[in-house]
Amino acid sequence: MNQDEVAQALLQTAFDWLRGKKMRLMRGPIDGRVDVGCGLLLSGFDSRPNLLSSYSPEYYLGFVERFGMKKIRDLVLYYIDLTKPIPPKLEEKAKECATSGVVLRPFHRFRTGKELAWWVDFFLETFAEHWGYVPVSPEEVRTRFGVKQLRWIVDPRLFLIAEFKGSPVAYLWATPDYNEIFQKMNGRLGLWNILKFFYTRRRIRTGRLHLIGIKKDFRDRNIGSYLNYAALIAMKKRGFIGAEVGWIDEENTAAHNTMAVTGGTVYKKYRVFEVPLQPVQEKKQ
């Protein structure tokens, strides 16, 4: 068997299983849930994967296309060059937001339980309108998605909470790109590599802005620009030379407009595919 024969057999197995469960569509690839990662890499094959980003060889696209799967959505990643000055327009919008009464604070790592008491529901509310979202219970998020371990990977200076009159109205979660270290471990996490991680993590020079959520009533107050500005300033102070942002749904016009103000440039795209789960004999081969 060549690679394509194996791929077609795997896709057919998934197709048949889902059809047996009376599903209407087969869509993917999706890594558990859409905010974690999904899609096959469409462009940017010459760049290494950043933290929580996936990588797939270009020929994978042919596997799903030959199976009859079609594009359903493209997801865009941006890159911000932190060796350049922060765009004046972004700073201006951030200052306007600050004078409106919005206050930023860091996530309290050692009060994780208290923070999660509001953040989990907030996350579900603000992510509910995203493409591909599937409702889950707050308890499932707390117990199954690694949230309890959040305190160990949170960098408080890069997990920012926006409050208005003492209540959270937005958040931005960013991290250093720990893949700079993990990729040198070759998949091994022994005592030596753990010690090496803590010793070398200050040498990381790239970051990643993973998620941003803003309450509906506050989406016209430049809070996204304020959060981006504060995160990028924090990264520049630490000597970061660049940051990855995303993914962003290709149809999320507001987010793309914010990225234009932030100075980001498109450097990677992922594509999610789908195929109707009609009877096998009707499916195009």
How is the chain split into domains, by residue range?
3-15+22-76+271-282, 81-269
Q: How far apart are the first and last CA of the chain?
A: 18
Residue 147: what pLDDT? 57
237, 207 in Cβ contact below 8 A?
no
Res. 106: pLDDT tops 50: yes
| 138: enclosing H helix or E strand | helix 138-144
- For domain 81-269, the CATH class is alpha beta
pLDDT in tens, 121-172: 888 887 777 887 777 777 777 666 555 556 666 787 899 999 999 899 999 9
What mean pLDDT value characterizes the chain?
86
pLDDT in tens, 173-216: 898 988 888 888 777 777 887 787 777 888 889 999 988 889 88
Distance CA 147, CA 151 (A): 8
